[in-house]
Amino acid sequence: MGHSYSESKQIATKTISILAVITIAEVVFALTGKGYIIDGFHMPHWLIGGVMIIMSVVKAYLIIYEFMHMKYEVPGLVRTVLIPTLLLVWAIIAFTYEGSYWQNSRAKVRNLKSVASTEQVEHH
């Protein structure tokens, strides 16, 4: 692996410490952003979401590269595993957008229906 036993022990301890710190930071940030820690202080949704996603991706990177030793695999293996995974992450984000599109479409249909029914009442 290119590291001595004591070196890899150090790397593992360092990695787990960073992961723990990021997790605490995530929780504190989420609670602060949603107004649980400082009274009356809120952050916009996109900011909370964006920071959370970035922190989670950093955690995923550390787990895959340090704990699962992806760092030491040949580039071909890295690509065959990571490219499909990144496409999956994109699919999750894309379908989340799709979900809000469904919501807007439903609201639109509901409005059209209520307009149509009031028009019918007026005709009679």
**Can you tell me which of 25, 41, 47, 68 binds other proteins, judged by CB under 8 A?**
68
Residue 86 binds other proteins (CB under 8 A): no
Residue 18 binds other proteins (CB under 8 A): no
**Tokens for 98?**
């799709």
Residue 64 binds other proteins (CB under 8 A): yes
Give dist(CA 79, CA 82) in Å, integer: 5
Strand (E) or helix (H) holding 32: helix 5-33
From the number of C-beta atoms within 10 Å of its C-beta (0-12, 13-18, 19+), residue 29 rates as middle
DSSP state string for 103-122 = HHHHHHHHHHHHHHHHHHHH
Nearer to other proteins, 6 or 124 (CB): 6
Contact 31, 37 (CB under 8 A): yes
**Can you tell me which of 39, 40, 44, 97 binds other proteins, judged by CB under 8 A?**
97
Residue 96 binds other proteins (CB under 8 A): yes
Residue 25 binds other proteins (CB under 8 A): no
User: Which residues in this chain contact other proteins in the complex, by CB under 8 A?
Assistant: 1, 5, 8-9, 12-13, 15-16, 19-20, 23-24, 26-27, 30-31, 34, 36, 48-49, 52-53, 56, 59-60, 63-64, 67-68, 73-74, 76-77, 80-81, 84-85, 88-89, 91-93, 95-100, 102-103, 106-107
